[in-house]
Amino acid sequence: MRNNPLATVRNLGILAHVDAGKTTVTERILYATGTTHKRGEVHDGTTVTDFDPQERDRGITIFAAAVSCDWDGHRINLIDTPGHVDFADEVERSLRVLDGAVAVFDAVAGVEPQSESVWRQADRHGVPRIAFVNKMDRAGADLDAAVASIRDRLHPAPLVVQLPIGAEGGFTGVVDLVRMRALTWTDDGDAVDGAPVPDDLREEARRRRRLLEEAVAELHPGALEEFCDSGALRTGTLAAALRDLTRGGDGVVVLCGSAYRNRGVEPLLDAVTAYLPSPLDVPPVRGTGDDGTAQQRPADPAAPFTALAFKVNATATGRLTYLRVYSGTIGKGDTVWDATAGRGERIGRILRVQADRHAQLDRAVAGDIVAVVGLKSARAGSTLCAPDAPLLLEPPGVAEPVVSVA
């Protein structure tokens, strides 16, 4: 499985209450991964994910857009999810095509009502999450209080893997409690990684590392057995346990930062690739075959083609249908079966959307998120499949929780 290229794909959503900083986090991810070379600012209307003029005018993310970027040998397909409660259907559809999510919280406000409702939706879909407490630079920012509100209102076991260095305007870095190293940022937001833990924080960092180990051991019996004689947990064991707990939905890794100041996005991306699942780590999709039987389709490029259309956008390029490919392979010019409409469709161009650009692909395989030009009948929610292996994907709300990966 390690050599399977699918293992390096992360289909990721960013969930947040309006104003928590989802757009800014997305923007900084695109910047950090080299997808964009300018730092768009939300307030001057130049961000690249919110490219619909209506979105710019209203200042909220209305339409989900999927953007692909690369980080540390992984492809991250970022699926935008609206944070506004009026767009719950669209959030629901986005959640169906994600394998994992980052939930963004405001370090001053903590958990807000909409964070709670989106969190519950993600629970129903069994989407593993990590939490990013944003706006650590704001006056009144308090990581511990935000973590307490996550524990009290959302009820997951928070696994805090960072200790902030400095507070509010003086927030300049974090101690990575897994590696026990410091990560600081310059005034320009450039990261300086791997420094020793500052002397004045050493004791507090050790205390918090112990708390993290204890929380992990309580949830993960396998990790408990790995405690060495000195009473500590090895770093590799801790990281593996954090991955298992995240993927199994038993715990939520918590990181912090300030997206606006470009602080904390690199460790967030590292956590996404380390802890959140790939398409191989989630259960196969289920649906109903032509003969009425229940069937499953594995995330395998050689299996019959199955995809969900989750977004249709009219753009200057044409009618773009965003697809999550669950199984199989499709090529340009192939005919597929729209199982929802009950008709054949021809695949025109296949595009990978990279913020403000489109890369043309010859084919798309299991695990991919792509946009296709040329589909006429497919709507958001339609199942597309191989004509000789028809399958209608199950309607939303019936996803099984993600299984824990041992």
Site residues (vs ligand GDP, CB under 6 A) = 16, 18-24, 42-43, 60-61, 83, 134-135, 137-138, 258-260
21 is in an annotated binding site: yes
Which residue in 82, 78, 77, 105 sits closest to 93, CA to CA? 82
Q: How far is CA 6 from the centre of its chain?
A: 16
Least distance to ligand GDP, CB of residue 183, Å: 16
Phi-psi region at 316: left, alpha or beta (left = phi > 0; alpha = psi -120 to 50) = alpha
Parallel, antiparallel, or unpaired: how do β-strands 251-256 and 285-289 relate?
A: unpaired
Of 61 and 295, nearer to ligand GDP (C-beta) is 61
Q: Which is nearer to ligand GDP, 50 or 338 (CB)?
A: 50
Q: Does residue 80 have a known ligand-binding role?
A: yes
| E strand map for 59-190 | 66-71, 74-80, 100-106, 129-134, 157-160, 162-165, 173-176, 181-185
Q: Find the DSSP H helices in 134-201.
A: 143-154
> In terms of Cα–Cα distance, which of 279, 264, 272 is closest to 326?
279
Closest CA relative to residue 341, chosen from 288, 303, 381: 381
CB of 345 to ligand GDP, least distance (A): 34
Q: Tell me if 136 is assigned to a ligand binding site.
A: yes
Distance (Å, whole) CA 257 – CA 162: 10
Determine if residue 199 is labeled as part of a ligand binding site.
no
23 annotated to bind ligand: yes
CB neighbour class for 292 (10 Å; exposed up to 12, middle 13-18, buried from 19): exposed
131 appears as a binding residue in the annotation: no
303 annotated as ligand-binding = no
Q: Min. distance of Cβ 227 from ligand GDP in angstroms?
A: 37
Residue 352 DSSP SS3: strand
Strand partners, 287: 295, 393
Cα–Cα distance for residue pair 74/270, rounded to 1 Å: 10
Task: Supply 174's token pair.
Answer: 């974090």
Q: How far is CA 205 from CA 159, 181, 219, 322, in A?
A: 14, 10, 21, 44
Nearer to ligand GDP, 209 or 263 (CB): 263
**Identity of the residue, 16 or 393, whose beta carbon is nearer to ligand GDP in the bound complex:** 16
Q: Does 81 show up as a binding residue in the annotation? A: yes
Smallest distance, Å, CB 84 to ligand GDP?
Answer: 8
Is 300 flagged in the annotation as binding? no
Here the tokens at position 92 are 């629901």
Q: 152 among the known binding-site residues?
A: no
Q: State the Cα angle at 206 between 205 and 208, rounded to 5°.
A: 65
Give the alpha-carbon dihedral of 89, 91, 97, 99, to 10 degrees.
Answer: -150
In the complex, what is the shortest distance from the CB of residue 186 to ligand GDP, in angstroms, rounded to a whole number?
A: 16
Please report, in range form, the residues annotated as the binding site for GTP. 16-23, 80-84, 134-137
Please report, in range form, the residues annotated as the binding site. 16-23, 80-84, 134-137
